[in-house]
Structure 1
Amino acid sequence: MTFYSIGDVAERCGINPVTLRAWQRRYGLLKPQRSEGGHRQFDEDDILRIQEIKRWIESGVPVGKVKALLDKGKIPVAGDWVALQEEMMSTLRQVSPARLRTRLALLGREHPVDALIDHVYQPVRERLSLDLNTARVMLSLLDGALIEQAVLHLGEVRRKAGKDALLIGWGIDDRTSLWLEAWRLSHTGWRVDVLAEPLEELHPEFFPGQQIIVWTGKPLSSDQAQRLEHWRRQGYAVAIHAPALSA
């Protein structure tokens, strides 16, 4: 029988090792074997279970409810992300920063940040941006709380071992999305610093020796792609972060 380390499984399944440990310790979803040295060892059955857990969570089921569904042998169906969006809207209508922080913390414990950004936070932000009147107040409240949550998490991750990177927005207007993507990156092993002001012109020579990750929010233009290739030929470490695109 072939066994895999937690790092191998994390890379194969696209899940942070910290998340896998939480699924085991906090929620009892996994029971890996241990090597003689005490390290976790996963087999193919474990990997299949991890993939099933991932499907449940991506469908909108809180992680705390997944074990019961797995034990019953149920099949994942499309989750009701709309319901979570409506709950977020209801919280925002109360215009209470404290209640909003509590709501965000609860969602963060129940769902992976990738899913929350793509299926709750960004859809709600887009919905609020269409209203030029009172919804703008709620959007501002939500953006502030999301940036606060992102900054807190970035600080926690920075105290741990990991890869350092500077995230720069290139030709974007939505600063909150930049912080959300920093939050997303921090769950993949990066210790992220953020250049808070997006740039129209990127100058990698200003950051010698640093790993630069660029967020554009859309596919690269032909000019941007040419510049990126030019910088790479010059030896600058510049990567594109595009989770919703083809990275």
Structure 2
Amino acid sequence: MAYYSIGDVAERCGINPVTLRAWQRRYGLLKPQRSEGGHRQFDEEDIQRIEEIKRWMKNGVPVGKVKALLEGKKITSDDSWTSLQEEMMGILRQVRPARLRATLATLGRDYPVDDLIDRVFVPVRQRLCLEQNTARVMSSLLDGALINFAVLSLAESLKKAGKEALLIGWDTEDRTRLWLEAWRLSQQGWHIDVLAEPLDSPRPEMFPGQHIFVWAGPEMSPRQKEQLDHWQEQGYTMYSHTA
């Protein structure tokens, strides 16, 4: 029987090793074997279980309730993503930075990065854009905490093997989302440096020989796609990064 290290499984399943450890230690979702040296060893059955966990969570099941479902038990139906959004909104309304930082750290351990960004952070930021009164303070508090969390995560990713790349915002003013996307890329095996100020037009000739990701929002415009194709034809290693 083939066994895989936690690093191999993390790369194969698209899950941070920290999250896999949290699923094992905090929630009892995984029971990997141990090598003689004490390292975790996963087999194909473990990998199938991880994929099943991911499916339940994408359907809105809280991580704390997944174990019961894996064991064939019934649970009360609710929307995990909505409840997490409401939890964050409550913390923001109370203007409690320390609790917000602690919540982000816990969520970052327990949930895959794609789900957190797309199903929690982005929806909460969108809600804050629609609210009045203290929404500006709440939005500023959240953005500061998210950028701080993303920066810490980028630094942590440098401890692992990875490929160097630069992330550039292209004709977008959403700097917070730029850092969130840098975090997302860092969980895909990249060592990301961020050009903190978005540009009206990237200039790849200034970064010869480097891998470059450009973030232009959820979707690139036809003009941007045409320009990116032109740069790629010129031999620049550039990619469009979309969520």
Give the TM-score taking structure 1 as reference length: 0.84
How far residue 129 of structure 1 moved from its aligned partner, in angstroms, is 1.0
The answer to whether residue 90 in structure 2 is matched with residue 52 in structure 1 is no
Residues 92 and 100, structure 1, Cα contact 8 Å, conserved in 2: yes
Tell me, in whole angstroms, the C-alpha distance in 1 between the residues paired with 2:87 and 2:26: 25
The answer to whether residue 242 in structure 2 is matched with residue 242 in structure 1 is yes
Tell me, in whole angstroms, the C-alpha distance in 2 between the residues paired with 1:50 and 1:94: 36
Residues 9 and 42, structure 2, Cα contact 8 Å, conserved in 1: no
1:147 matched to which residue of 2?
A: 147
Please give the per-residue CA displacement for 1:131-156, whole angstroms capped at 9, x wherever unaligned: 34321110000000000000011111
Q: 1:241 to 1:4 in 2, by over 3 A?
A: farther
Identity over aligned pairs, percent = 66
Residues 231 and 238, structure 2, Cα contact 8 Å, conserved in 1: yes
Q: Which amino acid aligns with 2:239?
A: A
1:42 matched to which residue of 2?
A: 43
Tell me, in whole angstroms, the C-alpha distance in 2 between the residues paired with 1:76 and 1:211: 47
Q: 1:122 to 1:162 in 2, by over 3 A?
A: same
**Mean Cα deviation higher: 152-161 or 138-147:** 152-161
**Mean Cα deviation higher: 31-40 or 165-174:** 31-40
How many residue pairs were aligned? 241
Q: Which amino acid aligns with 1:137?
A: V
2:69 matched to which residue of 1?
A: 69
How far residue 23 of structure 1 moved from its aligned partner, in angstroms, is 4.2
**Mean Cα deviation higher: 202-211 or 64-73:** 64-73
Residues 101 and 145, structure 1, Cα contact 8 Å, conserved in 2: yes
Which is bigger in relative contact order (C-alpha 8 A, separation at least 6)? Answer: 2
How far residue 126 of structure 1 moved from its aligned partner, in angstroms, is 0.6
Q: 1:48 to 1:148 in 2, by over 3 A?
A: same
1:77-96 pair list within 5 angstroms: 79-96=79-96
How far residue 46 of structure 1 moved from its aligned partner, in angstroms, is 3.3
How far residue 75 of structure 1 moved from its aligned partner, in angstroms, is 8.8
SS where residue 72 of structure 1 aligns? Answer: coil
Structure 1 spans left out of the alignment, 5+ residues: none
2:212 matched to which residue of 1?
A: 212
Structure 2 spans left out of the alignment, 5+ residues: none
1:65-214 pair list within 5 angstroms: 65-72=65-72, 79-214=79-214
1:232 matched to which residue of 2?
A: 232
Tell me, in whole angstroms, the C-alpha distance in 2 between the residues paired with 1:111 and 1:189: 17
Tell me, in whole angstroms, the C-alpha distance in 1 between the residues paired with 2:90 and 2:74: 31
Tell me, in whole angstroms, the C-alpha distance in 2 between the residues paired with 1:74 and 1:50: 20
Q: Which amino acid aligns with 1:153?
A: S
Residues 210 and 237, structure 1, Cα contact 8 Å, conserved in 2: yes
